[in-house]
Amino acid sequence: MDNWVIALIKVVFIWTWTLLIATLMTWVERRGSAMMQDRLGPNRAGPFGLFQPLADGIKLFTKEDIIPEKAHKILFSLGPILFALPAFSAYAVIPFGDKLVVNGKEIILQVADVNVGFLYVVALGAMAVYGIVLGGWGSNNKYSILGGLRSTAQLISYEVPFGLSLLAVVLVYGTFSLREISLAQQGTFLGFLPNWGIFKQPLGFILFIVTAYAEANRVPFDLPEAESEIVAGYHTEYGSMRLGLYLFGEYVNMYTLAALMVTLYFGAWHLPYIDMSKFLGPVSYGIASFLVFFLKTAFFLWLFVWVRWTVPRFRYDQVMGLGWKALIPLALVNLFITALCIQLTV
């Protein structure tokens, strides 16, 4: 099989898989919140309400697409696209398993193994800001503009500790390639701990997961959307599938961030103290590595839901204060200590 055919199959698979998981997460979010609040949640459309995401999709596709008369039509249309496209594209560099060997052909379970995978993810994450700002500004709605401005300040502020926490991982493993970082987490650390990033970068992980929630606009950092306020922030004027792109892009972004957590801090597809490749065949090992990676990612996806329905929203001054006064200094300290420890062990 030609390399370009394999690459095309991987692109189609991961695109479809990401869409499926993001769609399913809309159901998990509702059922999870219902469970925490002692109610049923969606239970009419299909068994256990599993067809509710399909019903929502049909509703969004068939609703009238209205553009406000005073809106800037080009910017208004570009906003949802610029928000959703980076979220869909970021997963391309994340390894979702080790490898499959089919008829002697080794297939790496990753769309693109680039040596600057870390920078690629950070750069695409920064692009999402433009989608939110253009959506708020292009709507020509004062509430939407305020939501867009709040979002700009929040996302840019939290990108700094987000990038610094990732940079500490790069220092530990000596590479920007996410696949090489995943491979380096096999085995043990200090003789008894799994060689995972969480044990080498505990503070870095705490910084990363907090900033990831802010980057994903999730509670307690959902000030850009402001769901409980009178209007919905930057996407107040949107309806139909333009709104759907904003909502769906959030879930795709959640999936990408959860997968990135697993890749950097929780051993990717590796199990602690077990080398699956020694007792599984080449095909079954590839499938098992994919399933292990997905199950770890699913835990962090559930954590997104859990936190949303248990932690109250911060005030805006608290959000900005946490980012600038706490997370950025801690990220710099963590980076300095990491560099010092590496220098002392060389």
Distance between CA atoms of 139 and 21, rounded to whole angstroms?
30
Spell out the domain ranges in the chain.
68-345
For residue 229, the model assigns a pLDDT of 63
Element (H, E) at 188: strand 188-189
Q: What is the pLDDT along the chain (346 residues), one digit of tens a residue?
A: 677 888 888 889 988 999 899 999 999 999 999 999 999 888 888 888 999 999 998 998 898 888 998 899 999 999 999 988 888 888 889 999 998 888 778 888 999 888 887 888 888 888 888 888 899 899 988 888 888 888 888 888 999 999 999 999 999 998 999 999 999 999 888 878 899 999 999 999 999 999 999 988 888 888 766 555 656 678 888 988 898 898 888 899 999 999 999 999 999 999 988 888 888 888 899 999 999 999 999 999 999 999 988 988 888 889 999 999 999 999 999 999 999 999 888 6
Q: How many helices (H) and strands (E) does the chain have?
A: 12, 4
**CA 78 from centroid of its chain's CA atoms:** 22
Taking the whole predicted model, whether its pTM rises above 0.85 is answered as yes
Q: Tokens 């709507």 — which residue?
A: 139
Phi, psi of 310 (to 5 degrees): -130, -25
Reduce the DSSP state of residue 48 to 3 states and report it.
Answer: helix
Contacts of 245 (CB under 8 A, 6+ apart): 80, 81, 83, 84
For residue 5, the model assigns a pLDDT of 85
Residues in the chain, total: 346
For residue 325, the model assigns a pLDDT of 94
Q: Which two tokens stand for residue 77?
A: 């249309």
DSSP 236: T
